[in-house]
Amino acid sequence: MTDSHSHSPEDSVAEGPLVRGAEALVLALIEEGVDLLFGYPGGAIMPVYDALHGHRNRLRHVLVRHEQGAVHAAQGYARASGRVGVCIATSGPGATNLVTGIADAQIDSTPIVCITGQVPSSLLGTDAFQETDVVNVTAPLTKWNVQVTRAEDIAPAVARAFFIARSGRPGPVLIDLTKDAQGALVAFRHTPCTRIRAYVPRPRVSEPALDAAAQLLAGASKPFFVVGQGVVLSGAERALLAVAERTGAPVASTLLGLSAFPTSHPQYVGMVGMHGRYGANIKTNECDVLVAIGMRFDDRVTSDLSRYARQARVIHVEIDAAEIGKNVKPEVALHGDARDVLTALLPRLAERRYPAWIAEFHACDAIEHEKVVARELEPEGPELRMGEVVHAISRKTGGQAVVVSDVGQHQMAAARYSAFEAPRSSVTSGGLGTMGFALPAAIGAKLACPERTVVAIIGDGGFQMTMQELGTAMQSGAAVKIVILNNSFLGMVRQWQELYYESRYSETEMQNPDFVRIAGAYGIEAQRVDTREALGTGLDAMLAHPGPYLLEVVVEREGNVFPMVPSASSVSDVRLEA
Amino acid sequence: MVFYDPGHEVASEHTLSVFTENRVGLLGRVTATFTRRCLNIESLTVSDSEVPGVHRFTIVVRVSAAQARKVAAQLERQVDVLKAFVHGEGDVLVRDLALYKLDGRHAGAALDAVVAAHGARVLEQSEAMIVLEQTGTETQTTALFHALAPFGIAEFVRSGRVALTRPMRPLESFLAELEAASGHGD
């Protein structure tokens, strides 16, 4: 048994054209199937940029306006397409500007490869100009990272990086390349990495556990599926559909699991979690068998763990062994890839139907509709509500668009009021909650999937965190549709201040610029709407426009997102109003 | 549903044996797995193992049993970690090495008696100093420290813990299991 990923220089110098390390990097990226990457040049990465120039017909580089934009664009690319996203930055500040996106990709399991330049190896540790110990900085935030100081190690590092990023539970990987390694000559040869001794990316699924799960489901009277992004990451959408339809169980989704199961499906009962659907939260504490697929029982899903689904017998389908029993101890652990597990489970399952149980969810929906949804979608006042804007976007795109959301109230509105009828249609920053994520992620998603409509739904606060990426949209021509839901507040924080800090609005009110003129300065078509009548025509103009478009929608200043599970409460305590 | 709340479990001493590939940066990843949970590592030793190229971390930490299991699982999540074991007290044979330096003028029957009673040995002796060595559990090396205190200890150092498991289970068999656990390639 050996590590098939060879690291010995003897192997890599055999045959192959003699090239500089920088060229070897670019060739290795092409070998791994990369045709698009996002980045920003600088001193320590200049040899790579020189090599990119020579291959620009095969490998397109999109110049961002800040390295955070590059990493979020790579994330959006990966999330929308299922391929590995790639970003590149120079040493020092270039590398540290990637850190937020790397942390985001780690917690949301997004496969990206980040490449950073580094000072020459002779200067390592000397506090040289633009030197940062980025390998140590990113160690806790990456699935794997490595510093490469020799040209012959570049191609093997790239092979290993792509294998690790996309396999198992995906995640971010970083390669730090010293400038001397980029400049040294090497005989280029690329061998894909297919296995690593210590690493089991796709565990064999336990047959007894499959039988036990099938048996639990066979005896269930109130089964409940909660599906997460693991379904999307393993491409298990069809397998999930088959299993769900066989069992007849209601299916809910986590925030990251949105679009894993079609919103319009009669068994779909909505999103769980802090601002999830009333029924999906209440019934979590009434089901008898909880089937969790590719999700990690995040605290925004469970709220108070000691009062979460305690009556339920839990089946946990999960590829990451460290997640099994981390927060909720399952009765049956199905350690494995969601598609493998669901495919193997299907023939063991009997046809079942639970009309009375599903009707209980519908009864909850009726209550939620009266207290929350109707007020959001058919408000009495003249001011626009976030929900009705999202709902209008969703109707006009037939639930087929890729909806990229930022973080805050508008994100919850986007999750709750969008229909997701096609897989990989929701891209959002879930675990890290990174404001500023949406605009660059939408650019990445659009460039990955040019045939799809990509709508970025962003708050006025988050937009201003990365709005310089309008320049990237302009220069790359990425035809993203940007909808700013402008309430002139940091809305979610303001909501909490209203509910828990006696309406002391500490530093949450925003004086905003003229977003239409900002877009205009970049040559991006834009308009502002603030009435219900103008919303429809504004959205039509945005969707009909061939290029990037910004629609600023002025919404109610102090609208709140409900339902809401107050923090430290039980999911049973989900509230429909303040 | 069985639910457990680690906050309510009592912390006790756990020894972890973590087998890894020999790669730069792994030490930081291993220790960060503890520190991010605000766990203080009591002792850490890194050495070779009986399998060429495989490193062995011996880590002592005061945690609940549930926390120890979760940390071990998170350690195994690292790409280059082969296996992480949590040992209960009975399963494991542990030793520390301690060195004690005393002024040379304390040589004599009284000191010899303490050395003999504690199973220590004289590592080096000159007119200026005596260096004693003891191998044992932390309790044993601490006991000798207290016994020598009246003489005046000029310098004391204790190594991290090393630990071997009592059951006969070669590491290779775990490596073979890892191999078998892989259902498919990518």
What percentage of chain A's residues is helix, strand, coil (to nearest 5)? Answer: 40, 20, 40
Q: Is B7 buried (19+), middle (13-18) or exposed (0-12) by CB count in 10 A? A: exposed
Beta carbons of B79 and A144 less than 8 Å apart = yes
Does residue A2 surpass a pLDDT of 80?
Answer: no
Distance, in Å, from the CA atom of A78 to the CA atom of A162, rounded to the nearest integer, reads 12
pLDDT by residue (tens digit) across A391-403? Answer: 999 999 999 999 9
DSSP assignment, residue B90?
G
Does residue B125 surpass a pLDDT of 50?
Answer: yes
Does residue A218 surpass a pLDDT of 60?
Answer: yes
SS3 A273: coil
Our CA-based measurement puts residue B76 at a distance from the nearest CA of chain A, in whole angstroms, of 8
Does residue B29 surpass a pLDDT of 90?
Answer: yes
Q: Does residue B157 belong to the interface with chain A, where contact is any CB pair within 8 Å?
A: no
Q: What residue in B sits closest to A138 (Cα-Cα)?
A: B29
Distance, in Å, from the CA atom of B31 to the CA atom of A44, rounded to the nearest integer, reads 30
Best mutation target among B1, B23, B56, B175 (most A Cβ atoms within 10 Å) is: B1
Res B181: pLDDT:
72
Does residue B1 surpass a pLDDT of 70?
Answer: no
Beta carbons of B70 and A197 less than 8 Å apart = no
The pLDDT-based confidence of B89 (bands split at 50, 70, 90) is confident
Res A7: pLDDT:
46
Our CA-based measurement puts residue A50 at a distance from the nearest CA of chain B, in whole angstroms, of 30
Q: Provide CB contacts within 8 A for A380, sequence distance 6+.
A: none
Q: Does residue B177 belong to the interface with chain A, where contact is any CB pair within 8 Å?
A: no
Res B90: pLDDT:
77
Q: What residue in A sits closest to B73 (Cα-Cα)?
A: A322
Spatial contact of B53 and B63, defined as CB atoms under 8 Å apart:
no
The pLDDT-based confidence of A1 (bands split at 50, 70, 90) is very low
pLDDT by residue (tens digit) across A418-456? Answer: 999 999 999 999 999 999 999 999 999 999 999 999 999
Beta carbons of A329 and B73 less than 8 Å apart = no
pLDDT by residue (tens digit) across B133-145? Answer: 999 999 999 999 9
Does residue B186 surpass a pLDDT of 90?
Answer: no
pLDDT by residue (tens digit) across A40-92? Answer: 999 999 999 999 999 999 999 999 999 999 999 999 999 999 999 999 999 99
Chain B residues lying within 8 Å of A163, measured CB to CB: 186
Spatial contact of A401 and A453, defined as CB atoms under 8 Å apart:
yes
Does residue A12 surpass a pLDDT of 80?
Answer: no
Beta carbons of B3 and A305 less than 8 Å apart = yes
Distance, in Å, from the CA atom of A225 to the CA atom of A482, rounded to the nearest integer, reads 33
pLDDT by residue (tens digit) across A171-206? Answer: 999 999 999 999 999 999 999 999 999 999 999 999
Q: Is A418 buried (19+), middle (13-18) or exposed (0-12) by CB count in 10 A? A: buried
- pTM of the full structure: 0.94
Residue of A221, A233, A364 whose CA lies nearest to A293: A233
Q: Does residue B64 belong to the interface with chain A, where contact is any CB pair within 8 Å?
A: no
Does residue A340 surpass a pLDDT of 90?
Answer: yes
Phi, psi of B24 (to 5 degrees): -60, 140
Residue of A177, A151, A173 whose CA lies nearest to A161: A173
Our CA-based measurement puts residue B172 at a distance from the nearest CA of chain A, in whole angstroms, of 10
Q: Where do the H-state alpha helices sit in A108-206?
A: 134-138, 154-166, 179-183
Res A3: pLDDT:
43
Mean local confidence (pLDDT), A208-213? 98
HSE-CB at A538 with a 13 A cutoff on CA atoms is 23
Does residue A207 surpass a pLDDT of 70?
Answer: yes
Residue A65, both tokens: 């306006």
Distance, in Å, from the CA atom of A399 to the CA atom of A424, rounded to the nearest integer, reads 12
How many residues are there in chain A?
A: 578
Our CA-based measurement puts residue A330 at a distance from the nearest CA of chain B, in whole angstroms, of 7
Does residue B172 surpass a pLDDT of 80?
Answer: no
Res B175: pLDDT:
78
The pLDDT-based confidence of A14 (bands split at 50, 70, 90) is low
Q: What is the CA radius of gyration of chain B?
A: 20
SS3 A543: helix
Chain B residues lying within 8 Å of A204, measured CB to CB: 180-183
Distance, in Å, from the CA atom of A53 to the CA atom of A551, rounded to the nearest integer, reads 35
Q: Amino acid identity, residue A208?
A: P
Q: Does residue B178 belong to the interface with chain A, where contact is any CB pair within 8 Å?
A: yes
Q: Which long-range contacts (CB under 8 A, 24 or more apart) does A300-304 make?
A: A300/A255, A300/A273, A300/A274, A301/A226, A301/A254, A301/A272, A301/A273, A301/A274, A301/A276, A302/A327, A302/A328, A302/A571, A303/A274, A303/A565, A303/A566, A303/A567, A303/A568, A303/A569, A303/A570, A303/A571, A303/A573, A304/A568, A304/A569, A304/A570
pLDDT by residue (tens digit) across B38-74? Answer: 999 999 999 999 999 999 999 999 999 999 999 999 9
Beta carbons of B180 and A203 less than 8 Å apart = no
The pLDDT-based confidence of B2 (bands split at 50, 70, 90) is very low
Spatial contact of A181 and A332, defined as CB atoms under 8 Å apart:
no
Position with higher pLDDT, A541 vs B13 = A541
pLDDT by residue (tens digit) across A312-323? Answer: 999 999 999 999
Distance, in Å, from the CA atom of A292 to the CA atom of A314, rounded to the nearest integer, reads 7
Q: Amino acid identity, residue A571?
A: V
Q: Amino acid identity, residue B56?
A: R
Q: What residue in B sits closest to A3 (Cα-Cα)?
A: B21
pLDDT by residue (tens digit) across B107-122? Answer: 999 999 999 999 999 9
pLDDT by residue (tens digit) across A518-570? Answer: 999 999 999 999 999 999 999 999 999 999 999 999 999 999 999 999 988 99
Res B66: pLDDT:
92
Mean local confidence (pLDDT), B86-105? 91
Residue of A532, A575, A574 whose CA lies nearest to A553: A532
Within 10 A of A361 (CB to CB), how many other CB atoms are there? 23
Does residue B3 surpass a pLDDT of 50?
Answer: no
The pLDDT-based confidence of B177 (bands split at 50, 70, 90) is confident
Does residue A495 surpass a pLDDT of 80?
Answer: yes
Query: Parallel, antiparallel, or unpaired: how do β-strands A332-335 and A313-318 relate?
Result: parallel
Our CA-based measurement puts residue B12 at a distance from the nearest CA of chain A, in whole angstroms, of 19
SS3 A130: coil
Q: Edge to edge, what strands does the sheet with A481-486 contain?
A: A426-428, A402-405, A454-459, A481-486, A549-554, A525-529
Does residue B6 surpass a pLDDT of 90?
Answer: no
Res B88: pLDDT:
78
Which residue is it, tokens 């070897």? A24
Residue A563: cis peptide before it, omega within 30 degrees of 0: yes
Beta carbons of B73 and A326 less than 8 Å apart = yes
Best mutation target among A202, A210, A284, A311 (most B Cβ atoms within 10 Å) is: A202
> Kind and range of the H or E element at A118?
strand A112-118
Mean local confidence (pLDDT), A273-281? 98
Q: What residue in B sits closest to A204 (Cα-Cα)?
A: B183
Spatial contact of A414 and A428, defined as CB atoms under 8 Å apart:
yes
